[in-house]
């Protein structure tokens, strides 16, 4: 059974699209069947991944009955993952996604489009709105992107509250997969202090151990529209996403280890 994860943040421009693309690509190259869906009406995934070179069709056309699933699910040429773009070519496409977020059709579409994958990443719009709530409505987990600034960390309780609300109203499966600190500037004493505080005061399960450092290479990868690991000098910069993929696998494994009494006492055979 595959897992659907929403990549969200309170503030814009903190690396949601970058994370969805790089983490998805890493998991895809590790042999998983992976899909990324751009649910951001202002979305940049089609640009960030160069999907536009192949098609301008996406979620908006599917929701308006102008395209079939197979026309909007685009596998990359190396087969590592598939991407569905937002398909926003006109202002009316933005409204189509927003309307569908409010009346349940986006959730229905996402359920239909995401079957058969091991991992689905929903690239969400910034902040809290009907599209994010629809994304949460179909998701198993949320990756919450945070910059290490004290003001931004204040968004954590709001997101946790929203998740609790969606969980109790419509989707009991929803969990916080983890908050992910990104654009981390290790040489900024204030950021270091905040990160140290966080690792001391917040339960380990809430935050990923992996932190994505601030690195100008990301801008270059965005311009070239490729996952970081494909840039000739991008391997070191891409490494945190490999670590993040491993950390996700570790969390899955540990969640799945029920530790039932029989397992402990009866052994493997």
Ligand X SMILES: Nc1ncnc2c1ncn2[C@@H]1O[C@H](COP(=O)(O)OP(=O)(O)OP(=O)(O)O)[C@@H](O)[C@H]1O
| Distance (Å) of CA 115 to CA 34, 73, 111, 182 | 11, 12, 7, 30
Interface with ligand X includes 191 (CB under 6 A)?
Answer: no
For Mg ion, which residue of 8, 9, 10, 17 counts as binding (CB under 5 A)?
17
**Between 27 and 145, CB nearer to Mg ion:** 145
Interface with ligand X includes 41 (CB under 6 A)?
Answer: no
Nearest approach, Cβ of residue 96 and ligand X (Å) = 19
Give the tokens for residue 129.
């709105």
Nearest approach, Cβ of residue 34 and Mg ion (Å) = 18
Interface with Mg ion includes 85 (CB under 5 A)?
Answer: no
Q: Quote the strand ranges of 130-267, DSSP E.
A: 141-147, 175-182
Picking from 57, 93, 89, 97, the residue whose alpha carbon sits closest to that of residue 74 is 57
3-state secondary structure of 86: coil
Q: How far apart are CA 88 and CA 56, in angstroms?
A: 8
Nearest approach, Cβ of residue 51 and ligand X (Å) = 14
Q: How far apart are CA 172 and CA 78, in angstroms?
A: 36
**Between 93 and 167, CB nearer to ligand X:** 93
Q: Determine the angle formed by the axes of helices 155-169 and 130-138, rounding to 10 degrees.
A: 60
Interface with Mg ion includes 16 (CB under 5 A)?
Answer: yes
Picking from 190, 162, 189, 185, the residue whose alpha carbon sits closest to that of residue 174 is 162
Please tell me the number of Cα atoms within 13 Å of 175 on its side-chain side. Answer: 12
Interface with ligand X includes 44 (CB under 6 A)?
Answer: yes
Which of ligand X, Mg ion, none binds 12 (CB below 5-8 Å, type-dependent)?
ligand X
Nearest approach, Cβ of residue 245 and ligand X (Å) = 16
**Between 208 and 218, CB nearer to ligand X:** 218
Interaction mask 30-49, Mg ion, x per CB under 5 A = --------------x-----
3-state secondary structure of 58: coil
Residues between 64 and 123 that touch ligand X (CB under 6 A): none
Which of the ranges 11-19, 26-34, 77-85, 133-141 carries the binding residues for ligand X, by CB under 6 A? 11-19
Count of beta carbons in the 10 Å neighbourhood of residue 33: 16
**Between 120 and 256, CB nearer to ligand X:** 120
Q: Which positions lie near Mg ion, rule CB under 5 A?
A: 16-17, 44
Q: Which positions lie near ligand X, rule CB under 6 A?
A: 9, 12-18, 40, 44, 126, 182-183, 212, 214-215, 218-219, 222
């Amino acid at each position: 059974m595959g897992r659907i994860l929403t990549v969200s943040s309170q503030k814009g421009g903190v690396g949601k699209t970058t994370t969805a693309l790089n983490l998805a690509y890493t998991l895809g190259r590790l042999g998983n069947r992976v899909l990324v869906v751009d649910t951001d009406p202002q979305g940049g995934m089609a640009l960030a991944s160069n999907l536009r070179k192949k098609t301008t069709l996406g979620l908006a056309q599917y929701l308006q009955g102008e395209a079939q699933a197979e026309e909007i699910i685009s596998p990359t040429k190396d087969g590592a993952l598939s991407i569905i773009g937002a398909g926003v070519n006109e202002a009316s496409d933005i409204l189509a996604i927003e309307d569908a977020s409010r009346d349940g059709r986006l959730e229905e579409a996402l359920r239909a489009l995401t079957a058969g994958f091991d991992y689905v990443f929903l690239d969400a719009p910034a902040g809290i709105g009907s599209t994010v709530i629809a994304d949460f409505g179909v998701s198993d987990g949320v990756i919450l992107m945070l910059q290490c600034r004290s003001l931004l960390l204040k968004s954590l309780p709001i997101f946790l509250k929203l998740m609790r609300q969606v969980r109790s109203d419509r989707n009991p499966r929803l969990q916080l997969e983890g908050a992910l600190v990104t654009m981390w500037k290790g040489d900024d004493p204030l950021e270091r202090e905040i990160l140290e505080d966080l690792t001391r005061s917040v339960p380990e399960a809430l935050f990923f151990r992996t932190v994505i450092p601030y690195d100008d290479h990301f801008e270059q990868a965005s311009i070239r529209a490729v996952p970081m690991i494909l840039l000739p000098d991008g391997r070191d910069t891409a490494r945190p996403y490999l670590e993040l993929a491993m950390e996700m696998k570790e969390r899955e494994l540990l969640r799945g280890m029920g530790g039932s009494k029989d397992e402990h006492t009866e052994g493997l055979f």
